[in-house]
Amino acid sequence: MTEKLTGAPRSDAIAKLDGWTEVPGRDAITKTFTFKDFNAAFGFMTRTALVAEKTDHHPEWFNVYNRVEVTLSTHDVGGLSALDVKLARKFESNSASTLASTLSPAQRSVYPSLATSAQRRLRTSSVLG
């Protein structure tokens, strides 16, 4: 059973995350991710949505153009839990690996039909070396 984080375990867990801050008046953490454009932001949301679904733990998020504001809290326990910390880490690793945010418009135009970022990454590395 997931339990709410409190005291030192809670503050230590937040301190180890990169760029997440506490939400005033809520037992939750938040981070705003900024990408090159909407394409990159939505690619990030697409992949992290699949992670959330797989882990059965979901973000509260807001997207406008290249910005994704993410808030994490565990509704079942009414506050921050280890599930939020774990999902925060997955969001961080995903934002770093969002390839669409690194491809130039010219490069991206070469791969309009690639189905997955993995395929895109494979093709790009072979092209870009």
Closest Cα to residue 3, out of 56, 76, 60? Answer: 76
Which residue, 63 or 107, has its beta carbon nearer to ligand HBI? 63
Identify which of residues 40 and 83 has a Cβ nearer to ligand HBI in the complex: 83
62/65 with CB nearer ligand HBI:
62
Residue matched to tokens 């801050």: 21
Task: Identify which of residues 37 and 92 has a Cβ nearer to ligand HBI in the complex.
Answer: 92
In the complex, least distance from residue 70 CB atom to ligand HBI, rounded to whole angstroms: 11
CA–CA gap between residue 98 and residue 94 (Å, rounded): 6
Contacts with ligand HBI by CB under 6 A lie at 56-58, 74-76
The Cβ-side half-sphere exposure at 5, using a 13 Å CA radius, reads 20
Task: State the minimum distance, in angstroms, from the CB of residue 91 to ligand HBI.
Answer: 12
Please list the helix, strand and coil fractions of the chain in percent, rounded to the nearest 5, in that order: 50, 20, 35
Name the minimum Å distance from CB 76 to ligand HBI. 3
The closest residue (CB) to ligand HBI is 76
Q: Smallest gap, in angstroms, from Cβ of residue 55 to ligand HBI?
A: 8
User: How far is it, in rounded angstroms, from Cα 104 to Cα 114?
Assistant: 16
